[in-house]
Amino acid sequence: MKYPAIEVYNLKKSFRKRNGFWKAKRSWALDDVSFTVGQGETYGLLGPNGSGKSSLIRILSTLLIADSGEVRLLGHALPEEQKAVRRIIGRVSVDAAFYKKLSARENLLYTALLYGQKARTAERRALDILERLGLEDNKFSTPLEEMSRGMQQKISIARALVINPPLLLLDEPTTGLDPKSRRDVQAFLEELRRQEGRTILLTTHDMAEAERLCARIGFLARGKLVAEGTANQLKELAHAETLDDAFIKLTGEKLADEEKGNEEVEMVGEV
Amino acid sequence: MEQTIRQTWAFVFRGYHLTRRYLSWVIVFNFYALVTSATVALIGVAAQDYQLTLTLVVGALLWNFMSTLYNEIAMSIAYERWEGTLEYTFMAPVSRFIHLLGISLFSLFNSIIQTVIVLAGLLILTDLNLSGANLLGVLVTISISAVAFVGLGLMAAVLPVMSPERGAEATHIFQGSLLLVSGVYYPVEVLPKWLQPLSALSPATYTLSACRKLIGIGNSGSTREHLVSAPLSAVTRELVVLTIMGAVLMPLGLWVFGKVEIWAKRHGKLKRTG
């Protein structure tokens, strides 16, 4: 049976923010979010800073436990089956966290060993990925601290792929990259989607990137999934010329008008 | 099994390469450890009292070993949070037991190497004679006490999960307290009466007491030229206490770590800090 790669139903996550010594305020990072992503599909999540994108990725990555709701990745429920989930996901985060003193090779081999892989096989695979990402061979032995942000992010993508996961969680992988690096990464992701049929969940601020790479897109604002559909469906829904306009219209109206916002939440699944 | 060995090896691999890249700092830390140990041991040389010298040397060496082991394990999580890599380690399909075992193994290698360097330096600087000492017994004692110190390190490692900076501070305060109450350089009897009961809670107290007996310190038959050491059976009490401490602290450390990990995942505390 072919079930969706990602299933998220009525997901809620809140954080308590301390307000003075005694008082604490609860704020919702994710408020009743539901969506599914089919196997081999690339799904984009767009939202302003603080809309809950990273919290969602962290929950799917087993790094955060939701307050309520259901999450299943390739049929494995979270948080109950987190060990099985960890074997099938690769994650790229916006901040490309590494041991900066270590070389790309050392960082990637460390990851491969953590996943119980043979170092030699992982090394060959890592070199292949880096070549496809347009990184020269000699950079393999260079400490990360001597690399540009773009190169580090390419290593970060290689780290997610060196373990060969069927599901990729990409949290703003092109944010802060120069145009050339951004193009390289986008071309590589497109190739992954086309040739390997991998499922990708991508969060981004870049509308053009979402339109180019994602089969479907969800708009996330204030922790709510405001609307989802193909780029054309979203533009149609918002009566907008561009995805940029659609985003501003749908999320902006939501932010300004709570009642209207509730209607928009109901739109989810109908588009 | 093969996979588990590779996962354990991952932490040794990482530690080895980080040590290689920070080699100049490693040399500085080893030099500092040697110099501080030597300056303490030379107090005994100045007093022309070989028993005092041996007492101080054993204290300096064992403290060096135990504190390095404890500190490396306790701070490993803080380093990962500062680097931002903790999320990636926690995302990997590696059990917490294997994760912490890998960290402890590398810390153990590191502590042994540093202690050997300090011992070599002390042998040059203090004209020590260890003939007659029950060195095999000392090794057995240290091996048993290492388990207890790994357990303490695991318990302390949870603190930086909650708060990297405060956790690191608390880790050092705890380490300093152990140094104060364990009789590293002086008998615990010289401590204020109200502080003395705390020495019974420190694994270092029993390790030091056993090792000093096994080396021949305090034995009326020992001379500068030849030490009269105690057999291993003479330190059974210390070994039993250390074994119990290890058997309790190690699983307790893992259990506490597991609980704090779940807490951290509920409160979003695994993100990079620092």
- Residues in chain B, total: 274
Provide the shortest C-alpha distance from residue A93 to chain B (in Å). 10
A64 vs B167, more confident: A64
A237 has a pLDDT exceeding 50: yes
B73 vs B143, more confident: B143
What pLDDT, on a 0 to 100 scale, did the predictor assign at position A32?
92
The mean per-residue pLDDT over the stretch B249-272 comes to 87
The verdict on domain A1-88+170-178+201-271 having CATH code 3.50.50.60 is no
Which backbone phi and psi does B182 adopt, to 5 degrees? -90, 0
What pLDDT digit, counting tens, does each position of B81-102 carry? 888 888 899 999 998 889 888 9
What pLDDT, on a 0 to 100 scale, did the predictor assign at position B129?
83
Measuring CA to CA, which residue among A99, A138, A119 is closest to residue B22? A99
Judging contacts by C-beta atoms under 8 Å, the chain B residues touching residue A111 are 88, 92
Provide the shortest C-alpha distance from residue A271 to chain B (in Å). 33
The mean per-residue pLDDT over the stretch A47-55 comes to 86
The mean per-residue pLDDT over the stretch B64-68 comes to 87
Residue A24: count of CB within 10 angstroms of its CB: 11
Q: Do B87 and A93 touch (CB under 8 A)?
A: yes
Q: How far apart are CA B241 and CA B208, in angstroms?
A: 13
Prior bond to A48 cis, omega within 30?
Answer: no
Q: Do B10 and A114 touch (CB under 8 A)?
A: yes
What pLDDT, on a 0 to 100 scale, did the predictor assign at position B74?
82
A261 has a pLDDT exceeding 50: no
B249 vs A18, more confident: B249
Mean pLDDT of chain A: 84
What pLDDT, on a 0 to 100 scale, did the predictor assign at position A241?
87
Q: Do A86 and B93 touch (CB under 8 A)?
A: yes
B272, closest residue in chain A (CA to CA): A97
pLDDT tier for residue A69 given thresholds of 50, 70 and 90: very high
Q: Decide if B259 touches A, using CB distance below 8 A.
A: no
pLDDT tier for residue A72 given thresholds of 50, 70 and 90: very high
CA distances from B247 to B97, B148, B242, B243, B273 (A): 15, 7, 8, 6, 33
What pLDDT digit, counting tens, does each position of A85-142 carry? 999 999 998 887 888 899 989 999 999 999 998 888 888 888 888 888 877 777 788 8
Judging contacts by C-beta atoms under 8 Å, the chain B residues touching residue A115 are 7, 92-94
**Number of Cβ pairs closer than 8 Å across A and B?**
93
Q: Do B91 and A106 touch (CB under 8 A)?
A: no
The mean per-residue pLDDT over the stretch B45-49 comes to 90
Judging contacts by C-beta atoms under 8 Å, the chain A residues touching residue B272 are 95, 97
B48 has a pLDDT exceeding 80: yes
Lowest mean pLDDT across A55-59, A192-196, A234-238, B219-223: A192-196
Residue of B81, B85, B88 to mutate, testing the A interface (most A Cβ within 10 Å of its Cβ): B88
Give percent above pLDDT 70 in chain B. Answer: 99
Q: How far apart are CA B110 and CA B108, in angstroms?
A: 5
Mean pLDDT of chain B: 89
What pLDDT, on a 0 to 100 scale, did the predictor assign at position A260?
41
Q: Decide if B174 touches A, using CB distance below 8 A.
A: no
Judging contacts by C-beta atoms under 8 Å, the chain B residues touching residue A119 are 6
What pLDDT, on a 0 to 100 scale, did the predictor assign at position A259?
39
Alpha-carbon dihedral angle through residues B84, B86, B89, B95, given to the nearest 10 degrees: 180
pLDDT tier for residue A255 given thresholds of 50, 70 and 90: very low
Give span(s): CATH 3.40.50.300, chain A: 1-88+170-178+201-271
Residue of A113, A120, A123, A152 to mutate, testing the B interface (most B Cβ within 10 Å of its Cβ): A113
Provide the shortest C-alpha distance from residue B171 to chain A (in Å). 23
**What residues does A72 pair with on adjacent strands?**
A7, A77
Judging contacts by C-beta atoms under 8 Å, the chain B residues touching residue A81 are none
Provide the shortest C-alpha distance from residue A232 to chain B (in Å). 35
pLDDT tier for residue A206 given thresholds of 50, 70 and 90: confident
Q: How far apart are CA A158 and CA A151, in angstroms?
A: 11
pLDDT tier for residue B273 given thresholds of 50, 70 and 90: low
CA distances from A154 to A40, B122, B265, B268 (A): 22, 49, 28, 26
A9 has a pLDDT exceeding 90: yes
Q: How far apart are CA B156 and CA B149, in angstroms?
A: 10
Judging contacts by C-beta atoms under 8 Å, the chain A residues touching residue B22 are 101
Judging contacts by C-beta atoms under 8 Å, the chain A residues touching residue B4 are 116
Q: How far apart are CA A5 and CA A75, in angstroms?
A: 7
Q: Which of B18, B91, B262 lies closest to A99 in CB terms? A: B18
What pLDDT digit, counting tens, does each position of B151-209 carry? 888 888 888 888 777 888 888 898 899 999 999 999 999 999 999 999 999 999 999 99
Long-range contacts made by residues B134-139, C-beta under 8 angstroms, separation at least 24? B134/B214, B134/B215, B134/B216, B134/B229, B134/B230, B134/B231, B134/B232, B135/B214, B136/B232, B137/B210, B137/B214, B137/B229, B137/B230, B137/B231, B137/B232, B137/B235, B138/B211, B138/B214, B138/B215
Give the helix ranges, DSSP H, for B127-235.
Answer: 135-162, 164-181, 196-199, 203-215
* Domain ranges across chain B: 2-267
Q: Decide if B105 touches A, using CB distance below 8 A.
A: no
pLDDT tier for residue A181 given thresholds of 50, 70 and 90: confident
